[in-house]
Amino acid sequence: MQTEKFQYDNRIVRNFAIATMVFGIVGMLVGLLIAIQLYEPAANLGNQYTSFGRIRPLHTNAIIFAFVGNAVFMGVYYSLQRLCKARMFSDLLSNIHFWGWQLIIVAAAVSLPLGLTTSKEYAELEWPIDIAITVIWVVFGWNMFGTILKRRERHMYVAIWFYIATFVTVAVLHLVNSFELPVSMFKSYSWYAGVQDALVQWWYGHNAVAFFLTTPFLGMMYYYLPKAVDRPVYSYKLSILHFWTLIFLYIWAGPHHLLYSSLPDWAQSLGVAFSIMLIAPSWGGMINGLLTLRGAWDKVRDEPVLKFFAVGVTAYGMSTFEGPMLSLKNVNAIAHFTDWIVAHVHVGALGWNGFMTFGILYWLIPRIYNTKLHSKKMANFHFWIGTLGILFYTVPMYWSGFTQGLMWKEFTEAGQLKYEFLDTTKQVLSLHVLRSFGGTLFLTGTIVMVYNITKTMLAGKLIANENAEAPALEKNYTPTGHASYWHKALERKPMTFMVLSIVVILIGGAVEMLPTFLIKTNIPTITSVKPYTPLELQGRDLYIREGCVGCHSQMIRPFRSETERYGEYSKAGEYVYDHPFLWGSKRTGPDLMREGGKYPNSWHYNHMIDPRSMSPGSIMPAYQWLADQTLTISTTKAKINAMRTLGVPYEKGYEEKAEEDLKTQAKSISDNLAIEKIKLDSDKELIAIIAYLQRLGTDIKLNKPSTN
């Protein structure tokens, strides 16, 4: 058979590697800054653009999409070419993919601090950027499938299946969750409301973890781990089982993020059942990875790359065991809304994504630069300081999570809540200090790595185009003997394979979501629940802009400890006009579901200007700019129209009256403040926020909560 000569594109791999390192440092630095803000509010720098609510999504987006995203592309572009024995389909597409992705990251880094956000976790970017993401993702898929189609290797190795599943599922998730109605160039409303929005969001959120942070890394594990240890994967059969069961099960588990919420019970139970089943494929994968190292543990002792892989895969095993445990309702009752979840995700992010990425960088860079790693010693130092960093990060966060969960639920013998919310905040402060120390250690390790890798790059020379040769594939291939089994046939047909992957993930998605969409017509309407007034709607958008949802939930679960503290538990029918939903996932501050009417307007004014004057010991940042900035009311008409399009029953023609109503309501709040000798003009943003906060949960208010 004729041998063909061709070249692998290493330049694109190098570019993604540099982007991975740069954005890794940036993302971790922002993470450290917000970690410090949680015990030292002054670290907000007194500036709205660096305030916690706005830059917390900057941290998560930078780590997920910039650091991990670039690492995935680096890993895929290197391994895919080798596994297909072909150069990437098109250099032009590779470059559009690279630069397009970096532009999206820059757009995110600019827009999030400006407060341009949809508020949906890990999908905060506004609609123009959503469209750009779609385009670039298609470019990536096109380039990947082009490469697979022109491959010189008959069968697709398991790593490629994981890459294909990643591509198709992320595409589906992004499209469905980003369904939104633009109001202006940088503002949109989610198409879904309340319970449905929550379900779609956490179907997305959970599977973004699954298909952006997990499946591409599993694919890379199946390629780079055997490479680094120079022996094949422990069990290829197990990897097939791992792949199909994992992608099948993952998609169902989203509702475990919404236990005890207003989501229907059956959907919650479904989420729990599938989460528990997920342990099987996840651990199958972990065991497969670790057993690949069997008989080679002596190599692990001297090779930093393998150390990173060993700890990375172990962290994968730990967090995929912990995840299902957290989805048990009794565990979730304590863990949800606490720092426990923060610890859980960081075992995954620092241990699994971080360490796998570091291992791959240490393995790959010397190879494409045709040299040796600058310093093995430094890499070993990175490994140890990184591991210590993970421990110092997660142990205090677990401790803090248990403390919060238990203190929130504790009653005195007389049957009253034992602690105020602020007591728990103060109780865990020192643990937060320790956590930021852990983060500093991890970041230090990363900086050492960047130095080490840069030195390596400078010492070698990039083999931009690496020569390779392989026989061309026979055009008219007829499978014989063992090759005729249909899975093997499937592996020869990437397009059929892709379609089958989509079918597999859609089964779970459809069964999970369809009934909840039927609810739209079946939802028990609560007649007292009315649409927001124009001023409240504007206030709600400011609440979204400032990222209040990052620390405050609006979801009172049906526990006595919550109804005593916050008031009547939340009903599905209360959220029918909430585009987007604002349930939140973390209680750094108290729940605000029934905040309305709890305090006078003057309390809110003082609390926003200086939180500690009203709540001594509070770690909430001050929002003095809200009192200085004038509310933009020119958008009111467009917002009312958009909401009506989405099904909110504003009367016909109300958009013309809305601005007038807004001004009247604003003036009444301003006048009310004046009685308490507070001078605040009625056109300020703070007035709108107060209007919104005072409205919260007042549509139905049965129990009067005792305290915050």
Partner 1 sequence: MFRNLLHEITGIGIYQMFSLVVFSGFFVIVAIWLFKTKKEYIDEMKNKPLE
Phi and psi, residue 619, nearest 5°: -105, 15
Interface characters, 540-579, with partner 1 (x: CB under 8 A): -------------------------------xx-------
For the bound state, the minimum distance from the C-beta of residue 573 to partner 1, rounded and expressed in Å, comes to 9
For the bound state, the minimum distance from the C-beta of residue 249 to partner 1, rounded and expressed in Å, comes to 7
- Identify residue 176 by its one-letter amino acid code: V
| Residue number with CB closer to partner 1 (244 or 654) | 244
Among 67, 157, 309, 392, which residue interacts with partner 1 (rule: CB under 8 A)?
Answer: 157
Instruction: Determine if 249 is a binding residue for partner 1 (CB under 8 A).
Output: yes
For the bound state, the minimum distance from the C-beta of residue 351 to partner 1, rounded and expressed in Å, comes to 23
Among 124, 153, 339, 546, which residue interacts with partner 1 (rule: CB under 8 A)?
Answer: 153
Instruction: Determine if 276 is a binding residue for partner 1 (CB under 8 A).
Output: no
| Residue number with CB closer to partner 1 (84 or 450) | 84
The answer to whether the CB of 310 falls within 8 A of the CB of 224 is no
Among 58, 63, 72, 83, which residue interacts with partner 1 (rule: CB under 8 A)?
Answer: 83
For the bound state, the minimum distance from the C-beta of residue 483 to partner 1, rounded and expressed in Å, comes to 7
Enumerate residues 342-361 that contact partner 1 by CB under 8 A.
none
d(CA 682, CA 674): 11
Instruction: Determine if 487 is a binding residue for partner 1 (CB under 8 A).
Output: yes
For the bound state, the minimum distance from the C-beta of residue 459 to partner 1, rounded and expressed in Å, comes to 27
Among 236, 297, 384, 411, which residue interacts with partner 1 (rule: CB under 8 A)?
Answer: 236
Stretch that binds partner 1, among 174-182, 269-277, 350-358, 390-398 (CB under 8 A): 269-277
d(CA 650, CA 476): 65
Instruction: Determine if 399 is a binding residue for partner 1 (CB under 8 A).
Output: no
Number of residues that bind partner 1 (CB under 8 A): 51
Instruction: Determine if 313 is a binding residue for partner 1 (CB under 8 A).
Output: no
Among 265, 298, 474, 628, which residue interacts with partner 1 (rule: CB under 8 A)?
Answer: 265
115 CB-near residues (< 8 Å, 6+ apart): 48, 54, 545, 546, 547
d(CA 387, CA 555): 36
Instruction: Determine if 522 is a binding residue for partner 1 (CB under 8 A).
Output: yes
d(CA 23, CA 28): 8
**DSSP codes of every residue in 599-634:** S-HHHHHHHHH-HHHHSTT--PPP-THHHHSBP--T
The DSSP code for 525 is -
For the bound state, the minimum distance from the C-beta of residue 232 to partner 1, rounded and expressed in Å, comes to 4
Interface characters, 637-666, with partner 1 (x: CB under 8 A): ------------------------------
The answer to whether the CB of 253 falls within 8 A of the CB of 327 is yes
Among 226, 531, 597, 600, which residue interacts with partner 1 (rule: CB under 8 A)?
Answer: 226
Q: Taking the alpha carbons of 227, 18, 353, 373 in that order, is the dihedral positive or negative?
A: positive
CA angle 8, 12, 16 (to 5 degrees): 135
The answer to whether the CB of 170 falls within 8 A of the CB of 137 is yes
d(CA 677, CA 212): 53
Among 50, 79, 275, 538, which residue interacts with partner 1 (rule: CB under 8 A)?
Answer: 79
Among 372, 488, 530, 560, which residue interacts with partner 1 (rule: CB under 8 A)?
Answer: 488
Range 623-627 contact pairs with CB under 8 angstroms and sequence separation of 24 or more: 623/48, 623/51, 623/546, 623/686, 623/689, 625/48, 625/685, 626/542, 626/546, 626/684, 626/685, 626/686, 626/689, 627/680, 627/684, 627/685, 627/686
Among 232, 295, 617, 647, which residue interacts with partner 1 (rule: CB under 8 A)?
Answer: 232
For the bound state, the minimum distance from the C-beta of residue 556 to partner 1, rounded and expressed in Å, comes to 14
Helix (H, G, I), strand (E, B) or coil at 261: coil
36: nearest Cα among 318, 443, 357, 403? 443
* Token couple for 85: 């024995």
Q: Taking the alpha carbons of 170, 174, 175, 176 in that order, is the dihedral positive or negative?
A: positive
| Residue number with CB closer to partner 1 (59 or 242) | 242
* Token couple for 356: 């796998």
69: nearest Cα among 111, 125, 117, 119? 125
Instruction: Determine if 277 is a binding residue for partner 1 (CB under 8 A).
Output: yes
For the bound state, the minimum distance from the C-beta of residue 521 to partner 1, rounded and expressed in Å, comes to 9
d(CA 525, CA 356): 49
Among 128, 146, 515, 600, which residue interacts with partner 1 (rule: CB under 8 A)?
Answer: 515
The DSSP code for 413 is T
| Residue number with CB closer to partner 1 (16 or 274) | 274
Stretch that binds partner 1, among 77-85, 318-326, 537-545, 614-622 (CB under 8 A): 77-85
For the bound state, the minimum distance from the C-beta of residue 474 to partner 1, rounded and expressed in Å, comes to 16
Instruction: Determine if 5 is a binding residue for partner 1 (CB under 8 A).
Output: no
Stretch that binds partner 1, among 357-365, 486-494, 640-648, 657-665 (CB under 8 A): 486-494
Count Cβ atoms below 10 Å from residue 204 Cβ, excluding itself: 23
Helix (H, G, I), strand (E, B) or coil at 684: strand
Peptide bond between residue 471 and the one before it cis (omega within 30 degrees of 0): no
Among 8, 137, 202, 248, which residue interacts with partner 1 (rule: CB under 8 A)?
Answer: 248
The answer to whether the CB of 28 falls within 8 A of the CB of 439 is yes
For the bound state, the minimum distance from the C-beta of residue 236 to partner 1, rounded and expressed in Å, comes to 4
Enumerate residues 425-484 that contact partner 1 by CB under 8 A.
482-483
Q: List interacting residues with partner 1 (CB under 8 A).
A: 79, 82-83, 153, 155, 157-159, 222-223, 226-227, 230-233, 236-237, 240-241, 244-245, 248-249, 252, 264-266, 269-270, 273-274, 277, 482-483, 485-488, 504, 507-508, 511, 515, 518-519, 522-524, 571-572
